[in-house]
Amino acid sequence: MLDAAEWGIVALSLKVGGVAMAVTLPIAFALAWLLARVRFPGKVVVDAAIHLPLVVPPVVTGWLLLLAFGPNGPIGAWLQDWFGVTVLFRWTGAAIAAGVMALPLMVRAMRISIEAVDRRLENAARTLGAGPWRVFWTLTLPLSVPGVLAGAVLGFARSIGEFGATITFVSNVPGETQTLPLAIYSALQQPGADALVWRLSCVSVGLSLIALIASELLTRRAGRGLRVL
Amino acid sequence: MSFEIDIEKRLGDAHVALTLDAGDGATVLFGPSGIGKSSVLNMIAGLFRPDRGRIAVDGETLFGNGIDVPPERRRAGYVFQDARLFPHMRVRANLLYGAGREHDAFEEQIGFLGIGHLLDRWPRTLSGGEAQRVAIGRALLSHPRFLLLDEPLSSLDRARREEVLVAIEHVRDVLKLPILMVTHDPAEAERIGTRVVRM
């Protein structure tokens, strides 16, 4: 079984993945809604930009985050001046990297579930006296919830597996930014750490499998919930 | 109560136009499928925007002269061809969706629909006739000024049609709510219509 330090790695991974998912969730939902429901000029560019982390080499994404959040970067300088904090070499930075990498997957899943909400039901609600906000809260959101959760769980799975952007952006600091994949990578560099690699890899595969099964079950639920009489 | 409707809209290759002045009772828009009857109801409900024209109910302009009242403020009780019940809400929540706070006596108000035993059911467990009666109840409880019925019987078998026809007659004769109904069935048109308008 795992020792205390290894449980610490698992706990850190879950914390980074959980925070990344929680912070990215509303952003991903807003973007998914925008792409599913609003026509605006430049939509195709916004759509492509959101999907960039899926296709750009993760090391490039990590480097761009470093530029943005570094001491001289626009966001990094702002965080330092206003709050006196930096995300470099911190678990918060790892969560940012994980969230950015998970964003496209989450937006895709959520967009599909929002597009699947029957607009005719929303029209019926309007004729019953519901304004656009009430329609959103009582129909659009609840009817897309299973798909939204499926996207969130998928994003969480992606987050705890994040490697390239994380190691480039916040390095590989044990106890701070060393999540499961980074710890496995470090163990691979040490001679005689095969057993550790095995143990951490098994945990990693197990967590991903659980998340994917949960996501799949939620997606099926979404299909059932949207069946309209 | 009166409807004053004079609208035009181009939908693809089709041109939908209707001029109508109608008073109390049930006005039936009658004509073959695909002629734009449902589009007319959508325009009256505010879900479609006419290219030009005017829609007024009881002298109040809902559309025209720079006015375009949003659907949620038109108070049109709209019963669609497919009941469009909200699948994630039980029958009771569906019925009360548009009812606002005053719904203490809602079961009495819609007692004539015979759906009191369905209140705790999910929409997917209802028969077509039950669903359509719930849809009528939901529209009636939203405090409508008039009722729009879009082929409300077309998806039902003969026995279920009779249930719904009786309910519509009750709305027309007892509740005395003005009705604008679309159908392509001459027997329905004759039975429900105080007046029949051919499109």
- Smallest CA–CA distance, residue A161 to chain B, in Å, is 35
User: Does A229 contact B76 at a Cβ distance shorter than 8 Å?
Assistant: no
Average pLDDT (A17-38) is 95
Asked whether residue A43 is assigned to any structural domain, the reply reads: no
Higher pLDDT, A227 or B10: B10
Give the structural domain span for B128. Answer: 3-198
Q: Sign of the CA dihedral A172, A173, A179, A184?
A: positive
B110 touches B148 (CB < 8 A): no
Q: B28: which DSSP letter?
A: E
Number of domains comprising chain A: 1
Number of domains comprising chain B: 1
What tens digit of pLDDT does each residue of A133-183 get? 999 999 999 999 888 888 999 999 999 999 999 999 999 999 999 999 999
pLDDT band at A219 (very low <50, low <70, confident <90, very high): confident
Asked whether residue A139 is assigned to any structural domain, the reply reads: yes
Q: Does residue A186 register a pLDDT over 80?
A: yes
Q: Does residue A216 register a pLDDT over 90?
A: no
**A124 interaction partners in chain B (CB closer than 8 Å):** 78, 80, 84, 86
Q: Is A127 on the interface with B (CB under 8 A)?
A: yes
Best of A128, A145, A226 to disrupt the B interface (most B CBs within 10 Å) is A128
Q: Give the pLDDT confidence score for residue A63 in this predicted structure.
A: 97
Average pLDDT (A67-79) is 93
pLDDT band at A227 (very low <50, low <70, confident <90, very high): very low
Q: How far apart are CA B72 and CA B76, in angstroms?
A: 8
Q: Which residues of chain B have pLDDT under 50?
A: none
The set of residues, in sequence order, having a beta carbon less than 8 Å from that of A29 and lying 6+ positions away, is A110, A148
pLDDT band at A223 (very low <50, low <70, confident <90, very high): low
Asked whether residue A125 is assigned to any structural domain, the reply reads: yes
Q: Which CATH number characterizes residue B7's domain?
A: 3.40.50.300
Q: Give the pLDDT confidence score for residue B125 in this predicted structure.
A: 93
Q: Which two tokens stand for residue B149?
A: 């019925």
Where residue A103 falls (left for φ over 0; alpha for ψ -120 to 50; beta otherwise) is alpha
Of A130, A142, A225, the CB nearest to B72: A130
Q: Give the pLDDT confidence score for residue B45 in this predicted structure.
A: 94
Q: Which two tokens stand for residue A4?
A: 């205390």
- Can you give the three-state secondary structure of B141-195, one letter per residue? CCCCCEEEEECCCCCCCHHHHHHHHHHHHHHHHHHCCCEEEEECCHHHHHHHCCE
pLDDT band at A205 (very low <50, low <70, confident <90, very high): very high
Asked whether residue A79 is assigned to any structural domain, the reply reads: yes
**Single pTM value for the model:** 0.84
B182 touches B37 (CB < 8 A): yes
pLDDT band at A77 (very low <50, low <70, confident <90, very high): very high
Q: Which two tokens stand for residue A138?
A: 């009582």
Q: Give the pLDDT confidence score for residue A228 in this predicted structure.
A: 38
H/E element, B63: strand B60-64
Mean pLDDT value across chain A: 91
Q: Give the pLDDT confidence score for residue A229 in this predicted structure.
A: 34
Q: Does residue A114 register a pLDDT over 80?
A: yes
Q: Which two tokens stand for residue A227?
A: 């069946």
User: Does B138 contact A128 at a Cβ distance shorter than 8 Å?
Assistant: yes
Give the structural domain span for A54. Answer: 4-38+48-225
**A123 interaction partners in chain B (CB closer than 8 Å):** 47, 71
H/E element, B64: strand B60-64
Q: How far apart are CA A142 and CA A146, in angstroms?
A: 8
Q: Give the pLDDT confidence score for residue A220 in this predicted structure.
A: 77
